[in-house]
Amino acid sequence: MKISLDWLKEYLEFDLPLAQLVEKLNMIGLLVEDWKEIEEDIILDIETYANRPDTLGHLGVAREVAASLNLSLKRKSWPLTESEEETPQLVDIQIKNADLCPRYCGIVVRNIQVGPSPAWLRRKIEAMGLNPTNNVVDVTNYVLFSTSHPIHAFDLEKIEGRSIIIRSAEKGEVLRSLEGKEIALSPEMLVIADEEKPVALAGVIGGEESGVEEATHNVFIESAYFDPISIRKTSKKTGILTDASYRFERGADIDFPPQAALMAASLLAQMGGLATQGIMDVYPKPKSQKKLVLRNHRISELLGMEVDKEFVLRTLPSLGFDVKEENRGIYQVKIPSFRVDIERETDLVEEIARFYGYDKIPSEIPPLQKLEPVFDPKRKSVERLRQLLFHQGFDEFMNFSFFDPEKESLFETEKKAIEIRNPVSSRASLLRTTLVAGLLENVLWNKNRGVEGVHAFEIGNIYFWEKEKTREQLTLAIITTGYLDYLQWQGKSELTDFFHLKGTFESLMENLRYEPYSFQVENHPFFEQGYSLSLSYKGERIGHLGLLRRDILDSYSLEDPAWAAELDLSILFEKQPQSFRFSPVAKFPSITRDVSFIADRDIPYQKIEEEVEKLSIPHLETYSLYDIFSGSSIPKGKVSLSLRFVFRHPQRTLQAEEVDKFQERIIKTLKANFSFQLREGGKIDK
């Protein structure tokens, strides 16, 4: 809200340096966001709140300043030059919908010479950032910016039958607004109509046809109270937001309409008009004044300090409240009609606090009695996961949760994406069903800026419809592409590959004690056929990893291969990990046996593992694949696999002969199942 210091002085005599005034206003909750000097005046830009429509005019702001400076408002009089006629002789007002329009006032001003406003008025209108229109329109705006009460002026001669009918619009009715826009009306909208047709959209905008123009001589001034919800709905539905609707939807002062009409008539009379006698006031069910009880002890209970009775009895009246101390420390408070925000005792406590000064309220650390912390194991798991990934050199990324529909169809996530009804942009109209898309954007961004390798992860929700309900699924996604380390003198930099990603998952699962887990070769829409694995734990599929599809990478203009993975943390964290157990350190020496086989290239290593597991060889502590080799010494279509087996007995030293037997069993089984050949010199005792 723009506030002119000149204008403020119409209501209040004060002389305060600007900086001090700004500080005063800030500290009573009228935040001065900016100010500028124009001509002799200073215009403040004040942030106002949705619950304080009374501060949307100079009078309301003056009242606040007066209270904070202990001053009184100036009384202004509004003399009228009256004609012989009484208002009802010239115009008829009928409220057909008193729920949406509980009060409607009007007065007629005759013999108006429509033309430019006097200089003082033009300056005021310009101070508000508007262009002066004509004296009648400028007067209505002057009343609005002075008092925050919107009024409207009609050309009386264009009101058919000189009948003002406040009614609901009828289906199919159309109004051409002052802005020249055709508004399709609907029955929940309130209109001002004459005998034939709507002439204004009540509280929102006037009609073009009934508007004041140069040829206008007789003006009907409307000053009413409209239901805030109705105005808001109409404004939203028609997309028309005006200074009037902005104030009515926040709640106007229901006691004020006659005064606003009087002000307008008086100003027009000063410009040569003749007002009819008496303001017509249709107010079928007058509202009674709100009353509240304020308890002194409640003030100290909420603020944490005592406030003098004198302060209460001085401050509230200066803001327009009527206060009486009924019993000791109990006040009966009558609420002025312009304070639509005051409904409970707490609201009065805020008034006391505002003018007492938040800065004078003490600062105390609350008594922090012991409170058992509520512990969320999921949060701890996520944190552990992040640390593990940092250790492995993965950077953390964070992307918006939105998703481009084009990308969504490219990824084919098989999840029903959630659509945003009013998205920020059409390329962000869905909620993401995968985190990989965001990570690819980030890869592209960094590659374009010279980064040679991106190895990163994001932890966050993906979103989708599941049986008519929205699901938020906490997910981890990892991406790896390009060089794994910096260029360095000791050798060539290593490129990432699938096994870097897989190894990361293996160590994650092991470190979080989610064992045993298993991988399966399984196709997935993100990945090239045959180039992806699924990861399962306790019989449930929790993730996928693989080489991203060429066409997906192409759509991000990424040339290098990229490997990605997505893990469903919401399922994983529901499951119990292995409990942590310490096992004693082995005291007896182990025996290691290395065995090399010539095997068919097509045999998956996992099958070999499965066979070894099936044997359940006693005291086989660990085994691992330590070399794969193919070359001129190996027959075509075959590879040489070297496995290392480590045997250990927990209670005694194993004998070489015992281990020989175990080793024979393994060799025999592998030979039988996979027609392996033992490689010459492949059996080495260690």
Partner 1 sequence: MKDLKLKIEEYRRTFDEDVSRVKDTKTLQDVRNLYLSRKRGYVSLLFEELKSLSPEERAKVGRSLNELKAYIQTRLLSFKEELARPQEPLKKVDLTLPGRKRYWGAPHPVLLFQQEIENIFLGMGFSIEGGPEIETDYYNFEALNFPPHHPARDDWDTLYINDDLLLRTHTSPVQIRVMEKRKPPIRIIIPGKVFRKETPDPTHLPMFFQVEGLVVDHGITFAHLKGTLEHFLKRLFSEKIRIRFRPSFFPFTEPSAEVDIECTVCRGKDRECRVCGGGGWIEILGAGMVDPQVFKNVNIDPERYSGFAFGLGVDRTAMFAYQISDMRIFYENDLRFTRQFALK
Q: Which is nearer to partner 1, 50 or 585 (CB)?
A: 50
Sheet holding 163-168, edge to edge: 92-95, 163-168, 190-193, 198-201, 205-206
Is 339 an interacting residue with respect to partner 1 (CB under 8 A)? no
Of 483, 474, 651, nearest to 572 by C-alpha is 474
Q: Which is nearer to partner 1, 33 or 551 (CB)?
A: 33
Q: Which is nearer to partner 1, 34 or 554 (CB)?
A: 34
Site pattern 427..446 for partner 1 (x: CB under 8 A): -x--x----------x--xx
Measured at the alpha carbon of residue 143, what is the angle toward residues 139 and 149, in degrees to the nearest 5?
140
Q: Which residue from 131, 288, 327, 363 is in contact with partner 1, where contact means CB under 8 A?
A: 363
Of 149, 93, 153, 152, nearest to 283 by C-alpha is 93
What SS3 state is found at 344? coil
Of 637, 612, 636, 640, nearest to 624 by C-alpha is 612
Measured at the alpha carbon of residue 452, what is the angle toward residues 450 and 458, in degrees to the nearest 5?
100
Query: CB of 333: closest distance to partner 1 in angstroms?
Result: 16
Beta strand residue intervals within 202-284, DSSP E: 205-206, 219-225, 274-277, 280-282
Of 259, 483, 513, 100, nearest to 267 by C-alpha is 259
Query: CB of 395: closest distance to partner 1 in angstroms?
Result: 5
Site pattern 16..35 for partner 1 (x: CB under 8 A): ----------xxxx-xxxx-
The interface with partner 1 within residues 282-301 (CB under 8 A) comprises 301
Which stretch of DSSP H or E encloses residue 143? Answer: helix 135-147
Q: What is d(CA 246, CA 59) in angstroms, rounded to the nearest whole number? A: 17
Is 150 an interacting residue with respect to partner 1 (CB under 8 A)? no
The interface with partner 1 within residues 447-476 (CB under 8 A) comprises 449, 451, 454-457, 460-461, 463, 470, 472
Show Cβ contacts of residue 545 under 8 Å, excluding neighbours closer than 6 positions: 478, 498, 501, 502, 505, 532, 533, 535, 563, 564, 565, 566
The interface with partner 1 within residues 588-627 (CB under 8 A) comprises none
Of 415, 300, 406, nearest to 353 by C-alpha is 300
Q: What is d(CA 175, CA 576) in angstroms, rounded to the nearest whole number? A: 66
Q: How many residues bind partner 1 (CB under 8 A)?
A: 93
Q: What is d(CA 564, CA 478) in angstroms, rounded to the nearest whole number? A: 5
Is 629 an interacting residue with respect to partner 1 (CB under 8 A)? no
Before 516, cis peptide (omega within 30)?
A: yes
Query: CB of 157: closest distance to partner 1 in angstroms?
Result: 36
Q: Which residue from 58, 103, 123, 250 is in contact with partner 1, where contact means CB under 8 A?
A: 250
Q: Which residue from 84, 376, 551, 657 is in contact with partner 1, where contact means CB under 8 A?
A: 376
Query: CB of 354: closest distance to partner 1 in angstroms?
Result: 4
Q: Which residues in 220-234 are b (16+ Cβ under 10 Å) and which e?
A: bbbbbbbbbebbbeb
Q: Which is nearer to partner 1, 384 or 668 (CB)?
A: 384
Query: CB of 412: closest distance to partner 1 in angstroms?
Result: 22
The interface with partner 1 within residues 485-504 (CB under 8 A) comprises 485-486, 488-490
Q: Which residue from 122, 386, 502, 638 is in contact with partner 1, where contact means CB under 8 A?
A: 386
Q: Which residue from 18, 38, 174, 305 is in contact with partner 1, where contact means CB under 8 A?
A: 305
Query: CB of 496: closest distance to partner 1 in angstroms?
Result: 13
Is 630 an interacting residue with respect to partner 1 (CB under 8 A)? no
Tokens 């080495």, located at residue: 684
Tokens 């949760």, located at residue: 401
DSSP 175: E
Of 455, 460, 436, nearest to 503 by C-alpha is 455
Q: Tell me which stretch binds partner 1 (CB under 8 A): 83-91, 138-146, 354-362, 594-602.
A: 354-362
Q: Tell me which stretch binds partner 1 (CB under 8 A): 213-221, 243-251, 556-564, 581-589.
A: 243-251
The interface with partner 1 within residues 79-138 (CB under 8 A) comprises none
Q: Which is nearer to partner 1, 279 or 501 (CB)?
A: 501
Q: Which residue from 80, 139, 156, 303 is in contact with partner 1, where contact means CB under 8 A?
A: 303
Q: Tell me which stretch binds partner 1 (CB under 8 A): 151-159, 346-354, 406-414, 673-681.
A: 346-354
Tokens 């002389």, located at residue: 15
Site pattern 387..426 for partner 1 (x: CB under 8 A): --xxxxxxxxxxxxxx---------------xxxxxxxx-
